[in-house]
Chain A
Amino acid sequence: MAHDTHVHVRSQAEFEYVKKKRAEEMRGHLATFAIMIFLTLIAFTMVAAGFSVYLIVPIILLLAGIQVVLQLYYFMHMSGKGHGMIAFFMFSGMFVAFITVLTFVTIIWW
């Protein structure tokens, strides 16, 4: 509307700062990507090595959980500013779903 468009020209210091930030972010992405590949390798190796099912299933579930967290925080930018409320609602929803599944598993299907 009537508001004037604000044009901002970055100073040299700001430019350096942003560049450094982005480099750091990129390092984080690459490291996370490597970790995720490694976790996937562990999961496949475990199955290929033929360990007991009772060992494999919980560990794979645990690895899956870690993957989800890494995905959310490093690739979907949930660690960024202003995501607190979103994180709160996501975790509340996960908590409710977890309680529900836990109850179903323990008192209906056990």
Chain B
Amino acid sequence: MSSIAQKKGFGATIWDFMTTVDHKKIAILYLMSGGFFFLVGGIEAMLIRIQLVKAGNDFLSAGTFNEVITMHGTTMIFLASMPILLAFMNAVMPLQIGARDVAFPFLNSLGFWLFFFGGIFLNLSWFMGGAPDAGWTNYASLALASEGHGIDFYTLGLTISGFGTLIAGINFLVTIINMRAPGMTYMRMPLFTWTTFVASALILLAFPPLTVGLFFMVFDRLFGASFFAVEMGGNTIIWEHLFWIFGHPEVYILILPAFGIFSEIFAIFSRKRLFGYTALVFATILIGFYGFMVWAHHMFTVGLGPTANAVFALATMIIAVPTGIKIFNWLLTIWGGNISFSVPMIYAVAFIPTFVAGGVTGVMQAIAPLDYQLHDSYFIVAHFHYVIVGGVVLAILAGTHLYWPKMFGTMLSEKLGKWTFWFFFLGFHLTFFIQHFLGLMGMPRRVYTFGADQGWDLFNAISSSGAILMATGVIILLVNVVMTIVKNERIGNDPWGDGRTLEWAIPSPPPFYNFAQTPLVRGLDTYWIEKMDGNKKGMIFAEPLGDIHMPNGSIIPFVISLGMFIASFGALYFMDGKPWALAVLIGGLTLMFASMLVRSLKDDLGFHITKAELLEDAKGGNTDGH
């Protein structure tokens, strides 16, 4: 295998991506499929807002509306936000710590394909007898009563994609602990790497409760168990606990990488070292830690009793402290900086007030007595869209602009980027700010329509018009992406001119072995230090140029995931007494275990890139930035 880029046919490119174990290509796969699901979830959001644009609308039936809101929430959380963040983690984190790949490249690929097939399985429900309709939280009493196979698509699909996410999380943990370049101590790691680390730890600890809950649900619905069936002596509240023991850390799994992306942006575009780096790191760890002690604040109205409510209310309010520390540190990073308002920076600056608004309503809901008023109203809808869209989605859009050049070697248009920002940002506030007041006026969440005499017409119409602006913004982004790909203007190592961390010291996109020589890290903001010292190479090397050991690509992760995908259909239709269901279930599992066996028995020792090939690459390479 040669390291020199070759022109490939379309089929060969597809095969290359199906078998790749390269973290940068897997990042592109995550970005593309996450982006696809983001569009699907966005279309579902538009359907919701069209249905609610006027009183008594009959655009969607009540049943379809339930399916659409369930799939909107599930898709956006599990299949859009997390994969796109995993894309950035995959693309950037190994570069930031000076590693040639993640610790387990094969598992990285397996994690992606499990997520992908889980997402496809979940969305196939639309074409195979109806989507899940019990809300994204899938509360057990409602879910067990749901007819058709929607809920089964939810439980099996999320089980598969949950395995994928868990694998990705463990992989990142091992990578960050073991594969940092010489000199890269924990307290020299860029903040995006730190947030990846903490978010991965949260994935490790939070996904098992979800998997357990989903397993119980699968057995209740498909195999006649009664973990949650009250009439059989089960307990429906246990689902709520298991779901939120996972669900609350999940929110931090999403927001911490977003914080990481913004921390990078503030430092780069203010041309300053991050203010209070140590405080930011410890705030990140604290948020991760508290994330496990607050889940019952989603259940204040369940009837946990005043003691439990008080404990969880206090614990919840404490989280505002580390988050506040972060906000002030970002503000002080900008303060006195040499600011350039490029597209990522505009997103970052807009994020601060938006996220603070979402945080403040969060503290309001932490007050348990007040939560009895706010619970299940549009106030809640407004709150979580402020933190998730105002935090995570703004970070995803900012990160797309920031890391696009590193991932693809081309620059997204600044002009179109600004148009996207203004449409999306104004549309977002128009859509969701007014929903606070709809909530206070008594509009319950998840209703498919409302009466003309309830006084919610105007505010709902305003909210829907904002959604059109957001959609326009996303369409402009798509145009931007297509135009950038078509133009294909290549850029150098450090396209923003002020890159501070190691990923900006190597070509865009990086060669598949990332670093010809492992860098030596002399401090925080490694690349910046070398630039200030006038080092034209952008880094100091920790080793002489020598052969590099690389892993071989493999189709086995794809086949393992396909096996689980097929087996899920067998499990799903087993309940109906279909004669072929058992055969499909066994066939799928056989395919899965057989491919695992092949992987276990066949030694794959990888290959070596020789020194001569590296020297050949370096001749054509661009090492000094411009």
Contacts and interface: CB of A to CB of B under 8 A. Distances in A.
Nearest to A104: B241
Contact of B238 (A92, A96, A108): A108
A50 interface: no
A92 B285 CA distance: 12
A1 interface: yes
A99 B293 contact: yes
Contact of A96 (B205, B547, B549): B205
Interface string B217-251: 00000000000000000010110010001000000
A85 interface: yes
Contacts of A76: none
B201 A99 contact: no
B209 interface: yes
B547 A1 contact: yes
Contacts of B9: none
A92 B288 CA distance: 11
B5 interface: no
B205 A93 contact: yes
A45 interface: no
B546 interface: yes
Nearest to A108: B237
Nearest to B312: A103
Nearest to B546: A2
Interface in A74-101: 85, 89, 92-93, 95-96, 99-100
A89 B201 contact: yes
A11 interface: no
A62 to B, nearest CB: 24
B435 to A, nearest CB: 31
Interface residues of A, number: 15
A50 B279 CA distance: 55
Contacts of B241: 100, 103-104, 108
B536 interface: no
B547 A2 contact: yes
A1 B608 contact: yes
A8 B191 CA distance: 41
A107 B235 contact: no
Contact of B177 (A2, A85, A106, A107): A85
Interface residues of B, number: 21
* Overall SS of chain B's interface: helix
B235 A99 contact: no
A66 B191 CA distance: 38
B292 interface: yes
B259 to A, nearest CB: 20
Nearest to A86: B177
B292 A99 contact: yes
Nearest to A92: B205
Interface in B178-214: 201, 204-205, 209
B304 interface: yes
B575 interface: no
Interface in A34-72: none
B304 A1 contact: no
B179 to A, nearest CB: 13
A94 to B, nearest CB: 10
Interface string B156-189: 0000000000000000010001000000000000
Nearest to B205: A96
Contacts of A95: 292
Contacts of B237: 108
B556 interface: no
B519 to A, nearest CB: 19
Contacts of B305: 107
Nearest to B176: A85
B239 to A, nearest CB: 11
A107 B204 CA distance: 25
Contacts of B549: 1
A55 to B, nearest CB: 27
B204 A89 contact: yes
Given A108-B238, A108-B241, A96 B308 contact: no
A104 B213 CA distance: 14
B292 A96 contact: yes
A92 B290 CA distance: 12
30 contacts: A1-B546, A1-B608, A2-B546, A2-B547, A85-B177, A89-B201, A89-B204, A92-B205, A93-B204, A95-B292, A96-B205, A96-B292, A99-B292, A99-B293, A100-B209, A100-B241, A100-B245, A103-B241, A103-B296, A103-B308, A104-B238, A104-B241, A106-B308, A107-B296, A107-B304, A107-B308, A108-B235, A108-B237, A108-B238, A108-B241
Interface of B: 173, 177, 201, 204-205, 209, 235, 237-238, 241, 245, 292-293, 296, 304-305, 308, 546-547, 549, 608
Interface of A: 1-2, 85, 89, 92-93, 95-96, 99-100, 103-104, 106-108
Given A96-B292, A100-B245, A108-B238, 11 more contacts: A1-B546, A1-B547, A1-B549, A1-B608, A85-B177, A92-B205, A100-B209, A103-B296, A103-B308, A106-B308, A108-B235
